[in-house]
Every structure is written in C-alpha cells, then in structure tokens.
Amino acid sequence: MSKKNVVIGFMGTQLDSGQGAGRWEKWRPTISLVQHEDTLIDRLELLYATKYEALAQTLVRDIANVSPDTVVNLVPMDVADPWDFGVMYAALYDWARGYRFDPAHEQYWAHITTGTHVAQICMFLMVESRFIPGVLLQTAPPKKQERGNPGSYTLIDLDLSRYDVLAQRFSQAHTEALEFLKSGIPTRNKRFNALIEEIERVAVRSQAPVLLTGPTGAGKSHLARRMFELKKSRHQVQGDFVEVNCATLRGDGAASTLFGHKKGAFTGAAADRAGLLRTAHQGVLFLDEIGELGLDEQAMLLKAVEEKRFLPMGSDREVSSDFQLIAGTNRDLRVDVAQGRFREDLFARINLWSYTLPGLAQRPEDLEPNVEHLLTRAAAETGRAVRFNAEAKTRYLQFAKSSEALWSGNFRDLSASVTRMATLADGGRISAGLVDAEIQRLRWLWQPAGDMQTPEVDLDAILPVDAASKLDLFDRLQLEAVIGICRESLTLSDAGRRLFDQSRAQRSVVNDADRLRKYLLKFGLTWEAIRTPR
C-alpha cells in the first residue's frame, strides 16, 4: 500500500491571487500542485493569515474543481510580524509540535515557493531539523504560459546521504578538517585518530572550554592553535589566538598578565594594562600548564569563563571579554583537586571536553609518518631535500619503536633528532652511519632515566599472606623485576614491549600485553593491583 502525499505550505498572497475567469490563465503555485496528472496530492495543509480568508476560500474551491480527491485543511496562522524570524519560526514550530504526523502511512512535502522569504526559510529549517519529517517541494511556472499547464516541481531531500555529490563534499570537508588538525600527517594509531575525529567535531560545534592533557611535548599547544585556525577558517572566531604558559606566571605578575591592571595597582604598575583575557576577546585563549595557576587566579578565571566579566587589578569596575578557553596540562588535575591545589569548581567548568594526548612512545605506528613529515618540513625550511637510504630508515625506525627509545620529550625529541640527521646528511641522504651516531646520541640523552634504579618491590605487600615466602629465589627476583618495570611504564602494552623486547621480533603475532597479563595471573596478580603498593 503506497503512502499518501501530504503537502504543507503557505498560501501565496500574491502568486496565488486572482479573480474571475482570468485567474485560470495565470500560474498559481498552490493550484499547480494538484494539476499534475501523474501525481495525486491526498491532503493539503494550507497555512494562511485570516485577513486573506476570501482568497483562501477561493483556493479551496479551485482545488476541489481541479482535484476533487484532494482534502484541503485551512490552517489559520496569524503572526504579528511575518518578517520577524523569531515570531514566524515560533508559530511554525508550535504548529508542527501539535500536528499528528504519521510517517508510516504518509509522506510529507514542505512547499517553499509561496510565503514570505522569512516563512520559506523557517519552513526549510523545520524540515532540516526534522520537526517536519519530510522533504522540500519547490514548484516552478511553465516556460510558456498556457491554460492548465502546471509547470514543474522538484522534491529536495535534505538528508545528505541521498545526494552523492553533497555527501562527498561533506565527507571531503570533514577529511580536510581532520588532516588540518593532524598537520597533514597520515597518522595510523587508532586511538589517536578517534580522538582527533571527536576534537574536530567539538572544535567546529562548541564554544565551551576544552582541556588537553598529556605529557610535555605531546603536542597540546600545537593542537590548540590548529583548533583555533580551523574555527577561524569556518568564520567562528574573529579574534586572535592568545597563548600563555602559566608556569611562567608568578605573584602579582600572574593576575596582571591575565586580567590586566590599573596604573598604580602595585609597585611597578606605571601604566594601565589590558591583560591577555581582553586581548583574546572573540578569539581563543590557550592557558598551557593551567595547573600552575594560583588559587586566587583560578577563582578570577572561573568568573571570567562563566560570566565573561572580571575585575582588573586595582580597578573597581568590571570589564568584559568573550573568548573560548583551551587549557593544557601535563598533570592529573583530579589529584590536584583532591589535594587542594586546584579549585574543584574550575576543574568542573573546564572538564566538559577533556582529551588526553598519548605520548609518542604510545604511538609507535605514527613514528614513520611523523618522521616523513618532519623531513618534508625541513626541506621546505632549508630548500634542501633529505631522504633516508633503505638500510638507514629500517635501522632508525627499529630503534625508534624499541623499548630503548623512551621519547621522554615526545615530539620535541623526535623533531630534534630528525633535524640533526637532516642537517648532517651529505648529498641529501641519511646513511646508516649517521643513524648509528644519532642512536648513540639519543641513548646518551635518555641515559639518566635508563640508569635509574628500579624501586624496591615488597612482594609480601602485594601477594597473599605467606605466598612470597614459598617462591623460589629465581621466581622471586624475576617477579620483583617485572613489577618494577610495570610501575615505570604507562600502559600494560608499554611494559610488555620492554620486557619482551627480543622474543617479540621472532613472533608472527605480537601481543605483549596478553603475554604479560598471563604471566602476572600465574601469581594471582593484575595490572591494576601492582601499579601502586598497598
């Protein structure tokens, strides 16, 4: 059983008008709807202003004359100002909310040829937002006016999936935004790519604060700037990107730098200062290492974020600034809140969108594309292309992905490493010898961390009562070493890579985390249980 065709549309006070027999010589959009021989309109919901009651009744009679099977429902819709978007949208919204749509048995066409431009736009918005569950209907007059010629009509489905060209363009724009946030680097780490996909949606849809956490050098500052530039390209911000490292702010200078001051507010305040919050008006303020802010500055920042108003130092008059806040930190602010170093209310306010950027060692799949990106960038900066030879590239990436490569400085370490090799490469080729020298340099760089003694492990505090005393010395020493490595590692997989650094190369299927998990279970232990002593 086919669905009934239901048209919803405004009466056109000009286009639908006409008196006497001459009206049939004129193309009238609403009448044309029922003049198509191959299309039956089962019902017409005709929205009109009651002061045009006579015209509405004429249309009802004319439709009955042309299409007796079409039911016309006259829907009075009087608005104070038909050119006011808010008033017109509210009237149409209220009608749609009260209308009993039956999509299972009826299909709805929203006619957008008649009505004021404001009414047409509001009808479009109702369909786009699915308050009217249908498609748009656009009618057009015939090229040659003649009696009974209904012209043409077009149905427009706003579901982008129905329009391949629009869907492809939307997908392309989405892909371009992701590549922009990743600086054009074809990253392969699934977790990182999923994180960037969500950040892209938030960046273009939200003005709420964003919190970026992760180790130093993970790219928080770079990502914040890319988010701003993406918003700028979409005309969502008009102001500037203002960045400040809160670890550099101390004493009166902290509040003065952020919130500004009046002349004479403190010793050395020789002139008024606007402050960075006002500089970021209609733009983005990136506060890196926000956990370093003092409690007083945190309280002032909370008010500025929530109310867009704050008091400069030494002033008794508030100023305003409308900015989006992006905060960065390498600390766990939950711990700081619990220990009273960070305000709980500010943390709750900036934690709506919170993302943890993984360190480079947690993204071994992305080492190769990042190395290639850095070489390309170096070529653009120096005008000198540099490439690895095959042996050198294999050797460097093998080391870079091994447990020896700590990447404690994350992308700063990698960028410095690639820059050194690109600078020293003769003839634009990075040789195996150059890679070996760089590997030695990196080992030296990370040596202090590598030489750190593994903290003493108290097995009696971890294992069940008397279980440790029943272990052979061999098993006891091995278990203590394994637990020590686990406590130094960020993840179970990271610990597994370090512990199985040689045997993993001989395996066809590598699952270091699973191997380590099964080893711990032999002693009744889990990853969570050994991370911190009891």
Determine the Cα–Cα distance for residues 164 and 160; give it in Å rounded to an integer: 7
Determine the Cα–Cα distance for residues 348 and 221; give it in Å rounded to an integer: 21
Two tokens at 306? 């929530």
Q: What's the confidence (pLDDT) of residue 92?
A: 93
Task: Chunk the chain into consecutive blocks of 10 residues (it has 534) and report each block's average pLDDT, rounded to whole numbers.
Answer: 90 89 89 91 95 94 93 93 89 92 92 93 89 92 80 82 57 70 77 88 90 90 91 86 90 83 73 89 94 92 93 88 94 92 94 91 91 89 89 93 90 92 90 90 75 66 83 87 82 81 70 87 86 55
Q: What are phi and psi of 194, to 5 degrees?
A: -65, -40
Q: What's the confidence (pLDDT) of residue 186?
A: 77
Three-state SS for 188-238 is: CCHHHHHHHHHHHHHHHHCCCCEEEECCCCCCHHHHHHHHHHHHHHCCCCC
Pairing of strands 134-140, 106-111: parallel
Two tokens at 431? 């040789």
**Contact indicator for 87, 80 with CB cutoff of 8 Å:** yes
Cβ contacts of residue 351 below 8 Å, gap of 6+? 211, 333
Q: What's the confidence (pLDDT) of residue 95?
A: 94
Burial of residue 17 (number of CB atoms within 10 Å: 0-12, 13-18, 19+) = middle
Give the pTM.
0.57
Relative orientation angle of helices 411-424 and 432-445, to the nearest 10 degrees: 140
Determine the Cα–Cα distance for residues 260 and 276; give it in Å rounded to an integer: 7
- Other CB atoms within 10 Å distance of the CB of residue 367: 20
Task: Return the closest-CA partner of residue 53 out of 70, 78, 20, 71.
Answer: 78
Q: What's the confidence (pLDDT) of residue 450?
A: 43
407 DSSP 8-state letter: -
Q: What are phi and psi of 522, to 5 degrees?
A: -60, -25
282 DSSP 8-state letter: T
Determine the Cα–Cα distance for residues 162 and 245; give it in Å rounded to an integer: 48
Q: How far is the CA of 158 from the CAs of 99, 115, 128, 161, in angstroms?
A: 21, 20, 6, 9
- Residue 199's identity, in one-letter code, is I
Q: Give Rg (Cα) of the chain.
A: 34
Task: Return the closest-CA partner of residue 109 out of 82, 146, 135, 73.
Answer: 135
Two tokens at 106? 């009826």
Determine the Cα–Cα distance for residues 30 and 144; give it in Å rounded to an integer: 18
Determine the Cα–Cα distance for residues 15 and 13; give it in Å rounded to an integer: 6
CA atoms within 13 A of residue 517's CA, in its CB half-sphere? 8
The label of the residue with tokens 């102001």 reads 239
CA atoms within 13 A of residue 279's CA, in its CB half-sphere? 15
